[in-house]
């Protein structure tokens, strides 16, 4: 290895170890196979994907007109909908429709929906592969051994695996990885004019695809603040910052990006939407992905977090390994990831380069003093842990169930994707939706927030709109608070609000379809004002994995109740009492 110059390594590069070409190819293959293994699995429990698809279909079939009000729910009638993901939804529906067309041409119309989602899962996998491929490329171009670059990028992908659904956020992962690559390559400094135009276009496109553009602005803000800190530290004065070219270019880059975010149908209101969502306390309490990431399910995040902490500590020994801009970005996104599980992928992408620099730094540290040798020992231990954890993570993931911690392997789900499954049929209440359509159940439909997205796909806007779903940017948290309170699944869940009957009556609800573990199910079963008409249990699953449907008992609904029960009997889906409940007299 070539000795570093006496003045020390460049802040943007760490001395590089020569890696065998075959090892680099093998590491790249491992990264590709690892990301594809994580991503190529049938959709399961992701209900948001369905309302994104339905919105894309609505926009396309309405002549590319964006809906100005929410057409899918009656809980938000009259509320203006600033849809900031409209372009991603059109793309998603286009990919879905391509899969449908392939199935229909193959003479498999019954499998068209599966084929559409299969194509969507495949497209998602390619986007994720591109995102973490860019991460690996960024690390390698930064002077890090290509093998280590692929291993760190793979660990970042493992840390992100809880948030790699068929949704617009995966586009943000790619855009953020590209932005960091551009910044670390100093491309804006070498091409300032083109850099400004690229920033404007990049953020204009991003702001019409997903709300993660805000993460990109934060990164640029960290770069501007970091450059200012570096100049002030170097020249021991604030005045010098105004004359620094790097700082001026990055500030101009930030201003262009800021202008780009306004090129969307909602304009400046995107900022208002972001504030509304992030300031909703009930959002954090009701949505698991908005809560802190639980361990041990998120152990890859713990590994990446440990590396990031080590990087920040090592900054006091080797300040060339991490710049002030990197340190600020790692600190911010680390804080966000510790607060909200959905932000773990953003942290993993931002922290990947400094984490790789930290591990690569062993080549420098071993040639220096005793203090650096101690730091090198820490680096080697982290590298060993990385090598041990990756095979463990690729085989599956631990999940918490009612029975405790269980291991969920990836291979069976990858095999299901290879057999043509785009989603797991037992994970969505398709039979329940078929029943609601065939039985022509009356009145407004009340359901769970969790399954609202799939119900929108199958039933909304006609014949049934739902009360609410997980679009907090549309509903705010007031509707979700009502839904959680009535169903008995809120932060103080377990018992439905005593006023549930009056609330449902006031909303004009005549049909209720709920996931069976919902506390309101038992209240409806005991109530003489509601008739149970249908029950669905996912094949091969325990009783709680399913839904139960009730119709309000009124003279006007008597025929609908009789019709629904006859249909349920033919389907073999007449409701049975929930565990611990007795048979109903009716």
CB 318 within 8 A of CB 312: no
Burial label for 555, CB within 10 Å (0-12, 13-18, 19+), is: exposed
Residue 375 has pLDDT above 80, yes or no: no
Instruction: Give the total residue count for the chain.
Output: 586
**Shared-domain flag, residues 387 and 473:** no
Q: What pLDDT shows up at residue 471?
A: 82
Residue 315 has pLDDT above 90, yes or no: no
Would 170 be classed as within a structural domain?
yes
Q: What pLDDT shows up at residue 10?
A: 44
The residue with greater pLDDT, 292 or 555, is 555
**Shared-domain flag, residues 454 and 533:** yes
Query: Token digits for 116?
Result: 């559409």
Q: What does the pLDDT average to over 497-520?
A: 92
- Domain extent for 346: 21-46+82-394
**Shared-domain flag, residues 203 and 275:** yes
- Measured at the CA of 285, the angle between CA 283 and CA 291, to 5 degrees, comes to 95
Question: In the sheet that 509-515 helps form, which strands lie side by side, from edge to edge?
Answer: 444-446, 509-515, 546-552, 530-537
**Shared-domain flag, residues 444 and 386:** no
Q: What crossing angle do the helices spanning 169-184 and 344-360 adopt, rounded to 10°? A: 30
Residue 312 has pLDDT above 70, yes or no: no
Instruction: Tell me the pLDDT of the chain averaged across its residues.
Output: 83
Q: What pLDDT shows up at residue 270?
A: 84
The residue with greater pLDDT, 366 or 336, is 336
Residues 6 or more apart in contact with residue 68 via CB below 8 angstroms: 80, 81
**Shared-domain flag, residues 456 and 386:** no
Residue 573 has pLDDT above 90, yes or no: yes
Phi-psi region of 574 (alpha: psi -120 to 50; beta: other; left: phi over 0): beta
Q: What pLDDT shows up at residue 19?
A: 41
Question: For 240, how many CA atoms within 13 A lie in the half-sphere containing its CB?
Answer: 11
Q: Provide the pLDDT confidence category of residue 42 given band limits of 50, 70 and 90.
A: very high
Residue 585 has pLDDT above 70, yes or no: no
Q: What pLDDT shows up at residue 299?
A: 56
Q: What does the pLDDT average to over 272-296?
A: 71
Q: What pLDDT shows up at residue 301?
A: 59
Q: Which residues of 394-420 are buried (b: 16+ CB within 10 A; e: fewer)?
A: bebbeeeeeeeeeeeebeebbebbeee
Strand partners, 513: 549
Would 200 be classed as within a structural domain?
yes
Query: Token digits for 110?
Result: 């019954």
Pick the closest to residue 303 from 195, 384, 375, 371 (CA basis). 384
**Shared-domain flag, residues 388 and 461:** no
Residue 9 has pLDDT above 50, yes or no: no
Q: What does the pLDDT average to over 474-497?
A: 75
Would 91 be classed as within a structural domain?
yes
**Shared-domain flag, residues 275 and 378:** yes
Overall number of domains in the chain? 2
Q: What pLDDT shows up at residue 372?
A: 52
Q: What pLDDT shows up at residue 12?
A: 45
Residue 534 sits in a domain whose CATH number is 3.40.190
Residue 497 has pLDDT above 60, yes or no: yes
Residue 491 has pLDDT above 80, yes or no: no
Among 368, 394, 420, the domain-final residue is: 394
Q: How far is CA 146 from CA 27, 35, 228, 350, 389, in A?
A: 8, 17, 31, 18, 19
Would 403 be classed as within a structural domain?
no
The residue with greater pLDDT, 431 or 307, is 431
**Shared-domain flag, residues 387 and 481:** no
DSSP string, 556-582: GGHHHHHHHHHHHHHHT----PPTTPP
Q: Provide the pLDDT confidence category of residue 274 given band limits of 50, 70 and 90.
A: confident
**Shared-domain flag, residues 350 and 435:** no
Cα–Cα distance measured from residue 285 to residue 294, given in angstroms and rounded to the nearest whole number: 14
Q: What pLDDT shows up at residue 53?
A: 97
Residue 329 has pLDDT above 80, yes or no: yes
Among 378, 394, 410, the domain-final residue is: 394
Cα–Cα distance measured from residue 218 to residue 321, given in angstroms and rounded to the nearest whole number: 21
Least confident of 108-122, 382-396, 413-427: 382-396
Among 394, 413, 447, the domain-final residue is: 394
Would 411 be classed as within a structural domain?
no
**Shared-domain flag, residues 370 and 478:** no
Q: What pLDDT shows up at residue 260?
A: 96
**Shared-domain flag, residues 27 and 145:** yes
Q: Provide the pLDDT confidence category of residue 246 given band limits of 50, 70 and 90.
A: confident
pTM comes to 0.88
Least confident of 253-262, 321-330, 505-514, 562-571: 321-330
Residue ranges with strand state E in 289-431:
396-401, 404-409
Would 443 be classed as within a structural domain?
yes
Q: What pLDDT shows up at residue 158?
A: 86
Cα–Cα distance measured from residue 294 to residue 298, given in angstroms and rounded to the nearest whole number: 6
Q: Which range is most confident: 27-31, 148-152, 209-213?
A: 209-213
Would 63 be classed as within a structural domain?
no
The residue with greater pLDDT, 233 or 479, is 479
Q: What percent of the chain is modeled with pLDDT above 90?
A: 45
The residue with greater pLDDT, 99 or 22, is 99
Pick the closest to residue 139 from 244, 225, 28 (CA basis). 28
**Shared-domain flag, residues 377 and 301:** yes
Q: What pLDDT shows up at residue 361?
A: 67
Q: What pLDDT shows up at residue 383?
A: 56
Express each pLDDT in 443-481 by its tens digit.
Answer: 899 998 889 999 999 999 989 999 988 887 777 777 878
Q: What does the pLDDT average to over 383-390?
A: 55
Q: What does the pLDDT average to over 429-450?
A: 93
Would 577 be classed as within a structural domain?
no
Q: What pLDDT shows up at residue 492?
A: 52
């Amino acid at each position: 290895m070539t000795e570093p110059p006496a003045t020390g390594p460049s802040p943007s590069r760490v001395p590089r170890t020569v890696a065998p070409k075959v090892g680099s190819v093998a590491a790249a293959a491992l990264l590709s196979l690892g990301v594809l293994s994580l991503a190529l699995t049938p959709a399961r429990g992701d209900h948001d994907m369905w309302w994104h698809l339905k919105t894309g279909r609505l926009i396309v079939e309405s002549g590319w007109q964006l809906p100005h009000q929410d057409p899918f729910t009656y809980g938000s009638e009259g509320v203006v909908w600033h849809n900031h993901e409209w372009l991603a939804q059109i793309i998603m529906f286009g990919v879905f429709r391509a899969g449908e067309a392939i199935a229909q041409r193959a003479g498999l119309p019954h499998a068209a929906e599966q084929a559409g989602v299969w194509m969507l899962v495949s497209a998602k996998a390619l986007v994720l592969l591109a995102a973490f491929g860019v991460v690996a490329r960024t690390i390698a171009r930064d002077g890090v051994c290509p093998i280590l670059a692929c291993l760190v990028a793979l660990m970042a992908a493992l840390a992100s695996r809880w948030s790699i659904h068929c949704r617009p956020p995966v586009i943000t992962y790619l855009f953020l990885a590209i932005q960091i690559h551009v910044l670390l390559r100093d491309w804006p400094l070498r091409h300032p004019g083109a850099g400004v135009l690229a920033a404007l276009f990049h953020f204009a496109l991003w702001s019409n695809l997903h709300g993660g553009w805000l993460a990109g602005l934060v990164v640029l803000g960290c770069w501007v603040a970091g450059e200012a800190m570096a100049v002030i530290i170097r020249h021991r004065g604030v005045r010098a910052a105004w004359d620094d070219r790097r700082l001026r270019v990055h500030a101009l880059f930030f201003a262009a990006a800021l202008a780009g975010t306004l090129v969307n149908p909602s304009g400046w209101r995107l900022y208002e939407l972001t504030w509304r969502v992030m300031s909703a306390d009930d959002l954090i309490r009701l949505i698991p992905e908005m809560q802190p990431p639980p361990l041990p399910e998120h152990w890859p995040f713990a590994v990446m977090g440990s590396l990031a902490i080590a990087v920040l500590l090592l900054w006091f020994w080797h300040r060339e390994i991490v710049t002030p801009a990197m340190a600020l970005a790692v600190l911010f996104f680390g804080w966000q990831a510790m607060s909200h599980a959905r932000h773990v992928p953003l942290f993993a992408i931002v922290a990947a380069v400094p984490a790789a620099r930290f591990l690569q730094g062993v080549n420098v540290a071993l040639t220096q003093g005793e203090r650096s040798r101690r730091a090198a020992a820490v680096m080697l231990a982290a590298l060993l842990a990385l090598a041990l954890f990756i095979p463990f993570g690729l085989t599956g993931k631990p999940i918490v169930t009612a029975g405790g911690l269980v291991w969920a392997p990836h291979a069976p789900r990858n095999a299901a994707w290879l057999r043509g499954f785009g989603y797991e049929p037992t994970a969505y209440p398709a039979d329940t939706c078929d029943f609601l359509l065939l039985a022509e159940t009356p009145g407004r439909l009340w359901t769970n927030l969790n399954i609202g997205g799939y119900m929108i796909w199958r039933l909304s806007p006609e014949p049934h709109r739902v009360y609410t779903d997980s679009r907090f940017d549309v509903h705010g948290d007031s509707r979700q608070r009502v839904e959680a309170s009535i169903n008995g699944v809120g932060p103080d869940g377990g018992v439905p609000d005593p006023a549930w009957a009056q609330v449902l009556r006031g909303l004009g609800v005549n049909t209720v379809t709920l996931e069976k573990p919902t506390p309101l199910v038992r209240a409806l079963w005991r109530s003489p004002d509601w008739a149970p008409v249908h029950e669905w249990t996912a094949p091969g699953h325990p009783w709680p994995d399913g839904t139960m449907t009730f119709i309000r008992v009124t003279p006007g609904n008597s025929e609908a109740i009789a019709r629904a029960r006859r249909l349920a009997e033919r389907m073999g889906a007449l409701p049975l009492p929930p565990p611990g409940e007795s048979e109903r007299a009716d």
